[in-house]
Amino acid sequence: MSFAKDGGGKGKKPMVSNLAPKPYSNCGKTHGGKPCLFGSNVSYIAVKWGITLETVLKRSRQGKV
């Protein structure tokens, strides 16, 4: 049995995924696959908690966020 020093070109190749999220055109970020909320007057915290942005802002001003 003989082995080529360079591996003979039969080594594993790195995986390339076409499923990587593309950055949104309006903000340039990917948000981990979540929808972009830029310009929608909504925050990710508000969506997660099921509350309005105004409530989040009130809580942050009171130091509760």
Residue 9 phi, psi dihedral angles, 5° rounding: 75, 15
Residue 19 belongs to a domain? no
Q: In the prediction, which pLDDT does 16 show?
A: 61
Counting the structural domains of the chain, the total is 1
Residues 6+ apart with CB under 8 A from 31: 21, 24, 44
Q: What does 6-46 look like in DSSP terms, one character per residue?
A: TGGG-SPPPP--TTSPPPPTTTS--GGGSPP-TTTT--HHH
3-49 residue pLDDT tens? 555 555 567 776 666 666 788 888 888 888 778 888 877 777 777 77
Residue 49 belongs to a domain? yes
pTM (whole model) above 0.85:
no
Give me the half-sphere count of Cα atoms (radius 13 Å) on the Cβ side of residue 50: 0
Instruction: Give the range of the structural domain holding residue 54, as residue numbers without chain letter.
Output: 41-65
Residue 15 belongs to a domain? no
Q: In the prediction, which pLDDT does 8 show?
A: 56
